[in-house]
């Protein structure tokens, strides 16, 4: 049966009215979703900025003020500050992935060791405030503990890839060099011994070269 023009017109108006009603219903909800996403990013950016500036344990209030939101909004998006720091740790890992996976030089042992030290220095200088902050939160965060162990394994793998001679070396030498090239050793030089970047890098390179000299004996 063919639909009459009047019926078709009425049905078209009904559909238009229904779409308008649906749009009105969805509009505010969509707006809230977008605002929530913006707030979440603002909160993460705020913590990132605060830690970058040296605030290793920012409070929720400090994060909220920097993000331009209320403290309750912070905890609407994150269960606690540890979960917020876990997200920042993930962001930091993504940002330094190229430094972790970058191919080293192909020179002799001394040249490759020097290149490895330089790459470690570049990495550690970039992640230093985030690592120091994570150390303070790691004890009560299983996620941060796993992240730390994962980075330790990645750094060791990178060391062995750059210096394959270590695969045949005595275990004490390998373990000692792994410690020398760790963030903890670098942080000791920079913070506790108060060395500038250049002097700290020279100390690290000299210690690494001293250990590697044993391979040539």
Cβ contacts of 138 within 8 Å, gap of 6 or more: 144, 145, 148
Structure confidence at residue 171 (pLDDT):
95
Q: What is the pLDDT of residues 29-40, one digit of tens each?
A: 677 778 888 999
Q: What is the pLDDT of residue 32?
A: 75
Strand runs labelled E in the chain: none
| N-term to C-term CA, the chain | 99
Of the segments 6-15, 139-148, 202-211, which one has the largest average pLDDT value? Answer: 202-211
Q: Which of 31-40, 98-107, 109-118 has the highest mean pLDDT?
A: 109-118
Taking Cα atoms as reference points, which of 35, 28, 33 lies closest to residue 70? Answer: 35
Give me the long-range contacts of 76-84 (CB less than 8 A, separation at least 24).
Answer: 77/36, 77/39, 77/40, 77/43, 78/43, 81/137, 82/137, 82/140, 82/141, 82/143, 82/144, 84/43, 84/44, 84/47
> Hey, is 55 helix, strand or coil?
coil
* Distance from C-alpha of 55 to C-alpha of 46, rounded to nearest angstrom: 11
Other beta carbons within 10 Å of 137:
20
The alpha carbon dihedral of 179, 180, 182, 183 has a sign of positive
The more confidently predicted of residues 160 and 99 is: 160
Confidence tier at 41 by pLDDT (50, 70, 90)? very high
User: What's the predicted TM-score (pTM) here?
Assistant: 0.76
Contacts of 42 (CB under 8 A, 6+ apart): 67, 68, 69
């Amino acid at each position: 049966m063919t639909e009459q023009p009047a019926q078709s017109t009425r049905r078209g108006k009904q559909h238009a009215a229904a779409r308008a009603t649906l749009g009105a219903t969805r509009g505010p909800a969509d707006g809230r979703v977008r605002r929530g996403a913006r707030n979440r990013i603002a909160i993460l950016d705020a913590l990132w900025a605060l830690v970058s500036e040296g605030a290793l344990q920012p409070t929720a209030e400090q994060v909220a003020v920097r993000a331009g939101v209320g403290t309750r909004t912070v905890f609407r998006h994150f269960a606690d500050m540890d979960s917020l720091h876990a997200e920042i740790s993930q962001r930091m890992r993504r940002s330094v992935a190229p430094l972790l996976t970058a191919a080293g030089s192909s020179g002799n042992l001394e040249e490759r060791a020097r290149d490895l030290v330089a790459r470690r220095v570049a990495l550690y200088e970039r992640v230093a405030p985030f690592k120091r902050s994570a150390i303070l939160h790691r004890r009560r965060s299983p996620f941060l503990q796993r992240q730390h162990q994962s980075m330790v394994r990645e750094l060791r793998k990178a060391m062995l890839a750059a210096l394959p001679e270590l695969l045949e070396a005595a275990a004490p030498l390998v373990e000692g060099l792994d410690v020398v090239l760790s963030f903890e050793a670098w942080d000791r030089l920079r913070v506790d011994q108060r060395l500038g970047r250049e002097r700290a890098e020279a100390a690290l390179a000299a210690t690494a070269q001293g250990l590697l000299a044993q391979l040539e004996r």
